[in-house]
Amino acid sequence: MGHTARDREKLLLRIKRIRGQVEGIQRTLEADGDCFVVLQTVAACRGALTGLMTEIIEGHVRDHILDPAEEPTAAQRKASEQLLEIVRAFLK
Amino acid sequence: MGHTARDREKLLLRIKRIRGQVEGIQRTLEADGDCFVVLQTVAACRGALTGLMTEIIEGHVRDHILDPAEEPTAAQRKASEQLLEIVRAFLK
Amino acid sequence: MGHTARDREKLLLRIKRIRGQVEGIQRTLEADGDCFVVLQTVAACRGALTGLMTEIIEGHVRDHILDPAEEPTAAQRKASEQLLEIVRAFLK
Amino acid sequence: MGHTARDREKLLLRIKRIRGQVEGIQRTLEADGDCFVVLQTVAACRGALTGLMTEIIEGHVRDHILDPAEEPTAAQRKASEQLLEIVRAFLK
């Protein structure tokens, strides 16, 4: 998956952190823990997944849609940065 | 704005419908109307804005990032369709 | 709608600002303006609608679900604040 | 956590499914798998987390905010159902 191979370590770090959050939610549920704590962790975990998503989308746009090998024009690169700015604003 | 000139009528129809919803919310608030009705209209209106957003993003990707004049490869077109599928799933 | 009558002026200010944004989007579309500007305004407008939503939900929870007349317990008030904290985190 | 003890089995089933999705994402990243597959799984996983969230919020509102022991009025129960309808619409 090209762009994510390059940034694979960073993405793996993110998903491992998300996995830790999910395991924490499971433990709290199993221990019949506090409802609010679960809600907070679920919200944080969803935010982390969105962050992962945004990072993969960035790589996908730059490497697979724009594709450096195809020598994108300045206008295409600019349009691509604009899209990513909107995606980040929408998915924050 | 290229792609939206082509589809401008459709986008204008969408934004006019959204404008009608916003004016409806304002009228209900001014009339001290039912809180739940306001919440429902706000939720519908937000959904309609998201739909508008998605449609403009589709045009932006196809016309400004991919840009037919630059003769995108099949791989670039496929990557572009994949991104839009994800955007639609995320912003629904 | 009780709680929003009390805060009606604030809510009306919000919806009028949103209406101005929607009218701005319509004008930009009619003038065949810049696609990125439209996307930015749509994103801002959606955020403003979410803010309006959150504020109405807060009033709804405090006045209609909790209802001061029913003399909610401290535990109910705390649970209510927790919910609103989660809603704010989720809808930001 | 009261309401989730009652529905704990259902919630545990949900979080275990989410955990499986997260582990799948990690495996695909480690194997340098297809970018689009990762994006699809992340989107599905985020949707599943939102579903879990919504279910916990429902229990929280009914058991901790409304609290059957406090004998909520019909109006409070109705306001509560309205809120949950809006939350479901917003978080779908």
Q: Does the distance separating the beta carbons of A90 and C36 come in below 8 Å?
A: no
What share of chain A has pLDDT > 70, as a percent?
92
Whether the predicted pLDDT of A4 surpasses 60: no
Whether the predicted pLDDT of B3 surpasses 60: no
Whether the predicted pLDDT of A42 surpasses 90: yes
User: Considering its fold, how many domains does chain D have in total?
Assistant: 1
CB-CB: which of B65, B67, B91 is closest to A83?
A: B65
| Chain A positions in Cβ-Cβ contact with residue B90 (cut-off 8 Å) | 53, 91
> A35-59 and A74-91 are packed helices; what angle lies between their axes, rounded to 10 degrees?
170
Interface test with B, best of A50, A55, A65 (most B CBs within 10 A): A65
Determine the structural domain holding residue B9 and report its residue range.
Answer: 3-91
CB-CB: which of B36, B43, B86 is closest to D39?
A: B86
Residue position matching structure tokens 């009606």: C8
C-alpha dist (Å) from residue B20 to C40, C45, C84, D72, D73: 21, 15, 29, 37, 36
Whether the predicted pLDDT of B58 surpasses 80: yes
Q: Does the distance separating the beta carbons of B73 and A70 come in below 8 Å?
A: yes
Whether the predicted pLDDT of D90 surpasses 90: no
Computed over every residue of chain D, the mean pLDDT equals: 91
Whether the predicted pLDDT of C46 surpasses 80: yes
Computed over every residue of chain C, the mean pLDDT equals: 91
Band (A91; pLDDT cuts 50, 70, 90): confident
| pLDDT value of residue D5 | 62
| pLDDT value of residue D47 | 93
Band (D6; pLDDT cuts 50, 70, 90): low
CATH code of residue B9 = 1.20.58.1000
| pLDDT value of residue B1 | 56
Computed over every residue of chain B, the mean pLDDT equals: 90
| pLDDT value of residue A67 | 87
Report the gap between the CA of A74 and the closest CA in chain D (Å): 25
Report the gap between the CA of D51 and the closest CA in chain B (Å): 14
- Do the Cβ atoms of D87 and D54 come closer than 8 Å? yes
Nearest partner of B64 among A64, C45, C34, judged by Cα:
C34
Band (C5; pLDDT cuts 50, 70, 90): low
| pLDDT value of residue C91 | 79
CA–CA separation, D34 vs D27, rounded Å? 11
Band (C90; pLDDT cuts 50, 70, 90): confident
Residue D58 belongs to what H/E stretch?
helix D35-59
| Chain A positions in Cβ-Cβ contact with residue D2 (cut-off 8 Å) | 35
CA–CA separation, A36 vs A52, rounded Å? 24
| pLDDT value of residue A50 | 93
| pLDDT value of residue B36 | 93
| pLDDT value of residue A27 | 96
| pLDDT value of residue C82 | 95
| pLDDT value of residue A1 | 56
Report the gap between the CA of A5 and the closest CA in chain C (Å): 30
Local structure of residue D71 (DSSP, 8 states): -
- Which stretches of chain A are DSSP H helices? 3-6, 8-30, 35-59, 74-91
| Chain B positions in Cβ-Cβ contact with residue D90 (cut-off 8 Å) | 43, 46
Whether the predicted pLDDT of A2 surpasses 90: no
Q: What is the mean pLDDT of residues B46-56?
A: 94
| Chain D positions in Cβ-Cβ contact with residue C80 (cut-off 8 Å) | 65
| Three-class DSSP category at A14 | helix
Per-residue pLDDT tens over the stretch D49-77? 999 999 999 999 999 999 889 899 999 99
For B39-88, give the DSSP string.
Answer: HHHHHHHHHHHHHHHHHHHHHIIIIIII-GGG---HHHHHHHHHHHHHHH
Q: Does the distance separating the beta carbons of B39 and D82 come in below 8 Å?
A: yes
Angle ∠(C82,D80,C91) on CA atoms, nearest 5: 50
Q: Does the distance separating the beta carbons of A87 and B79 come in below 8 Å?
A: no
Is pLDDT larger for residue B86 or for residue A92?
B86
